Amino acid sequence: MKIDILTLFPEMFYGPLNSSILKKAQEKGIITINYINIRDFTTDRHHQADDKPYGGGAGMVMKVEPIIKAYEAIPKNNSFTIMLSPQGRKFNQKLARELSQKEHLIFICGHYEGIDERVRQLIVDEEISIGDYILTGGEIAAMVIIDAVARLVPGVLGDEVSAEEESFSDLLLEYPHYTRPRNFRGLEVPEVLLSGNHKKIDLWRKKQSLLNTLFRRRDLLKVRGLTKEEKILLWQGFFELAMLIDEIPERSE
């Protein structure tokens, strides 16, 4: 997958996108990230990439010409252009999956008050928002999307199964994870995980996922639905929780 990022602040990306899994993915050549400084495509004496808004008002607006010039300088034959803003389609795992099928993504990151409307009219395929809050620019939103999309590209995660095996593809939240030591400051790892009984472990994990999702995100469960087996597992988990009441000592009235 090819990724081009149009921004006035390319240095914002260097740490996050050149660490850990995305660093490896680029070293392996599975994804290629290219940074384009919009300021390099200004033509005036002061290299001005922004200007006062027509009609007046506070702040500055990013100029259309440098962005379009920067976009036109990108070699492309089948690209998909994304602009980040709170006005966009809400980003989620489904959209991440859609974008992971594209061969070339181009991100336009705005800053200041906004971007000249004509940029959207001319080159944007989809405007995306990562949530209902206002950032100082689109850069951090672009990084969030690139991270979520890149891990779905085949070969990016070392372990091929783990991208899709994970919580959201099953529309359930994760079960709790543990590693050594068995006891940390009195907190024990659940016995079943030490049993070596993989059928039992899978059932325990499924039960934990179901309980977690029921307690924290009932909205997800209502959309997903539950099989008969899953309902039985949940009732079982429920009963086991209820049994904890009996472990509490009785207190005189």
* 4 marked ligand binding residue: no
- Cβ atoms within 10 A of the Cβ of 150, count? 24
Q: What is the DSSP string of 121-185?
A: HHH-SEEEESSSS--SBSHHHHHHHHHHHHTTSTTSSSSTTHHHHSGGGGTSPPPP---S-SEET
* 135 marked ligand binding residue: yes
Stretch that binds ligand 4GY, among 44-52, 109-117, 207-215, 240-248 (CB under 6 A): 109-117
Among 49, 110, 116, 210, binds ligand 4GY (CB under 6 A): 110
**Cis bond upstream, residue 190 (ω within 30):** no
- When asked if residue 53 is in the footprint of ligand 4GY (CB under 6 A), the reply is no
Burial class (CB in 10 A: 0-12, 13-18, 19+), 187: exposed
- When asked if residue 129 is in the footprint of ligand 4GY (CB under 6 A), the reply is yes
Among 10, 66, 138, 237, binds ligand 4GY (CB under 6 A): 138
Among 8, 96, 106, 141, binds ligand 4GY (CB under 6 A): 141
Among 8, 135, 173, 221, binds ligand 4GY (CB under 6 A): 135
Bridging pattern class, strands 187-188 and 126-129 = unpaired
Stretch that binds ligand 4GY, among 26-34, 39-47, 107-115, 214-222 (CB under 6 A): 107-115
* 82 marked ligand binding residue: no
Give kind and range of the element (H or E) at residue 14: helix 11-17
Give the nearest distance from C-beta 113 to ligand 4GY in angstroms: 6
**CA 25 to chain CA mean position, Å:** 17
Q: Which residues bind ligand 4GY (CB under 6 A)?
A: 84-86, 110-111, 114, 129-131, 133-135, 137-138, 141
